[in-house]
Structure 1
């Protein structure tokens, strides 16, 4: 199996029941997740040998995180113990035309206080084939900005394929802060996940005004690959929000100057949207690692994301065979 490494924070998620507000509820449901951890879980489900580099407190919540990761087959060799608290966020699930709302409580978390000298990157990247990190990690603290850059540089020194998901979060940092940091990271990135708004507001690319979304996206992606010729592929999704419980989703994959798109998937009824983007990113990475033809790759990644919308929690819980069956059989059929 191929060794994959991800770097990021895993948090405690506390969710209200659908139809309730946080200030109304008297009970919360617990899940554990985080962008890079979610990608790690998906890739482990897809049969890969995955390690998460992270830091959690040495208390019952840290133990619960470790057990959660191990239950999905994610290796915890590089899960460090230290600090005093596990980052937390509260999720108020949207209904109908009301959007979901996230409230973070992650300042001074164990992971955000991580220092560069706590990680032996030569050991981490020994025998590794792929390294994945997202823009959430450098947004958490000045030290994590340095660690993210250094980890990408070390990965390239070890000949490891690198993946970066912009994953811009306005509640964590400004567009200007994100732009200044991400531009220093992209020279060390092989696989990139970003959308049109990232291209415009983070990378400063002039806004396109062509006839179709596809032409606009090809324009942005061609500009990005000219700015950073090291980037081999770029991916994103087109999502139309009909309501909080009904969306359409289409995947985009750009490589060697060509744009490949999945069919448009109609997702109704959404059980839990959180982690859908991470499931998509994992599907892209799986396809690249397996040398899957581009059209098949984007269909698989989009199907993986659609399936994630049907289960509670941040993590995807589907195997390669289940995703392929979904692609081949279509939605809503009984599998006997």
Structure 2
């Protein structure tokens, strides 16, 4: 299987029960997660050799992060220890017509306060075929915006493919700052997770209806270096009931999965990361795009059925799910 490196911040997540408000909670469900960490775990589940690079405090929480990643078969050789704290966030879990909401407590975290690249480049990129990173990382600080570009340039110099998930977070940076930084990063990207809203609000593409092909084509004109775009189309009927369709665009062709009806949703967090990992798995194993978009969307749909940030399903389980025509018990 392929050698993959992901880099980003991992945080402690504290979630309420669905029937309890955050300000009334006396206990929380605890998970560890982050965009790139979640992708790493999915790809490890698909038998790829995956390493996760980040920085965590040298204390019990940092050790818990290391054990969390190792539990799912992800290498932590590039996990650094030091700095002040592990970032965390609080999730008030919604249900029905009440939406979920997030409060971040991530300022001054060990990863976000890095001001130099603390890894040695040759060992960092040793045998790496694909680097996956997200727009969350350059949003953390001015310095990480610079470091992200430097890292991606180094990857290109070493002929490492770059996967980038725009993953815009309004609580981390403004549209104007994101636009400026993305304009320096996207020319370096090979595979990009971006949809209609990214095209309109971050890439200044004129809104023109709901035809996704138009937005993909316009993004491709701006950044012809990007071989493949992908995203999901989500219809939110309620917090507990969504429908999901996956899409991939390559060389003027749009590939679409079947529609998944996800109800009840147990935990939506990490669904996009599960989709990204499914797409990357298809690319790394040279599957056709019909299979890849179907596999990735099925993986995302399955992620919605379990607690926690990361997907926990194998290739065989996802393939069985994507080809199933009913929900009878598997005996």
TM-score (norm 2): 0.98
Q: In the alignment, which of 257, 260, 275 is matched to residue 262 of structure 1?
A: 257
CA distance in structure 1 between the aligned counterparts of 2:141 and 2:89, rounded to whole angstroms:
17
Identify if the C-alpha distance between structure 1 residues 331 and 160 changes in structure 2 by more than 3 Å, giving closer, same or farther.
Answer: farther
Counterpart check, 1:246 vs 2:241: yes
Instruction: Give SS of 1:55's match.
Output: strand
Do the aligned partners of 2:55 and 2:82 also contact (CA within 8 Å) in 1? yes
Residue 56 (structure 1) aligns with: 56
Aligned pair count?
331
**Aligned equivalents of 1:234 and 1:271: distance in 2?**
28
Give 1:147 deviation, angstroms: 1.3
State the secondary structure of the residue aligned to 2:308: coil
**Comparing 11-20 with 113-122, which one deviates more in the overlay?**
113-122
Equivalent residue, structure 1, for 2:132: 132
Which residue number in structure 2 is paired with residue 291 of structure 1? 286
User: SS at 2:243's partner residue?
Assistant: strand
1:244 and 1:119 map into 2 onto residues whose CA distance is 41
TM-score (norm 1): 0.97
1:1-336 matches, within 5 Å, as 1-209=1-209, 213=210, 216-330=211-325, 332-336=327-331
Give how far 1:333 is off. 2.8
Residue 269 to residue 256, structure 1, CA distance change in 2 (3 Å): same
- State the shift of 1:278 in Å: 0.1
Q: Does the aligned pair in 2 maintain the 1:121–1:151 contact within 8 Å? A: no
Tell whether the 8 Å contact from 1:134 to 1:165 is kept in structure 2 after alignment: yes
Cα shift at 1:180: 0.5
Classify the secondary structure of the residue corresponding to 2:145. helix
Q: Distance in 1 between matches of 2:295 and 2:317?
A: 10
Q: Which sections of structure 2, spanning at least 5 residues, go unmatched?
A: none
Contact 2:232 2:244 in 1 (8 A): yes
1:331 Cα deviation (Å)? 5.6
8 A Cα contact 1:126 1:158, kept in partner? no
The answer for unaligned runs of 5 or more in structure 1 is none
8 Å Cα contact 1:11-1:89 kept in structure 2: yes
Alpha-carbon distance in structure 1 between the residues aligned to 2:12 and 2:176: 28
Deviation at 1:151, TM superposition (A): 1.0
Give the SS at the match of 2:23.
coil
Equivalent position SS for 1:118: coil
CA deviation after TM superposition for structure 1 residue 335, in Å: 1.5
Q: CA deviation at 1:40?
A: 0.3
Larger CA deviation: 65-74 vs 222-231: 222-231
